[in-house]
Amino acid sequence: MENIMRHVDFAPLYRSTVGFDRLFSLLDSQTLADNGQTYPPYNIERTGENAYRVTLAVAGFGDEELSIEARENVLTVKGEKAESQESETFETLYRGIAGRAFERRFQLAEYVEVKGAALKNGLLHIDLVRVIPEAMKPRRIAITTADNVNEKQIEANAA
Question: Looking at residue 119, what is its pLDDT?
Answer: 94
Whether 59 and 121 map to the same domain: the answer is yes
* Residue 99 lies inside a defined structural domain of this protein: yes
Whether 19 and 50 map to the same domain: the answer is no
Q: How far apart are CA 102 and CA 80, in angstroms?
A: 7
**Residues 57, 61, 64, 70, Cα dihedral to 10°:** -30
Q: How far apart are CA 130 and CA 113, in angstroms?
A: 6
Instruction: Starting at the earlier edge strand, list the strands of the sheet with 66-71.
Output: 66-71, 74-79, 102-107
Per-residue pLDDT band for 150 (boundaries 50, 70, 90) equals: low
Of residues 50 and 26, more confidently modeled: 50
* Residue 103 lies inside a defined structural domain of this protein: yes
Question: Looking at residue 139, what is its pLDDT?
Answer: 83
pLDDT reading at 24 higher than 80? no
pLDDT reading at 159 higher than 60? no
* Residues 100-132 pLDDT 10s: 889 999 988 888 999 999 999 999 999 999 988
* Residue 143 lies inside a defined structural domain of this protein: no
Number of domains composing the chain: 2
Whether 107 and 122 map to the same domain: the answer is yes
Under DSSP, the state recorded for 118 is E
Q: How far apart are CA 66 and CA 54, in angstroms?
A: 15
**What distance lies between CA 94 and its chain's CA centroid?**
37
Whether 41 and 112 map to the same domain: the answer is yes
* Residue 21 lies inside a defined structural domain of this protein: yes
* Residue 50 lies inside a defined structural domain of this protein: yes
Instruction: Let me know: does 21 contact 46? Beta carbons within 8 Å.
Output: no
Q: How far apart are CA 20 and CA 107, in angstroms?
A: 16
* Residues 37-83 pLDDT 10s: 678 899 999 999 889 999 999 988 888 999 999 998 889 999 998 76
Question: Looking at residue 86, what is its pLDDT?
Answer: 57
Whether 16 and 50 map to the same domain: the answer is no
pLDDT reading at 154 higher than 80? no
Whether 48 and 27 map to the same domain: the answer is no
Question: Looking at residue 114, what is its pLDDT?
Answer: 93
CATH number of the domain encompassing residue 50: 2.60.40.790
pLDDT reading at 87 higher than 90? no
* Residue 152 lies inside a defined structural domain of this protein: no
Question: Looking at residue 82, what is its pLDDT?
Answer: 75
Whether 28 and 42 map to the same domain: the answer is no
Domain of 105 in residue numbering reads as 37-134
Question: Looking at residue 33, what is its pLDDT?
Answer: 47
Whether 53 and 127 map to the same domain: the answer is yes
Whether 56 and 128 map to the same domain: the answer is yes
* Residue 154 lies inside a defined structural domain of this protein: no
| 111 torsion bin: left (phi>0), alpha (psi -120 to 50), beta (else) | left
Whether 71 and 107 map to the same domain: the answer is yes
pLDDT reading at 5 higher than 60? no
Q: How far apart are CA 130 and CA 51, in angstroms?
A: 6
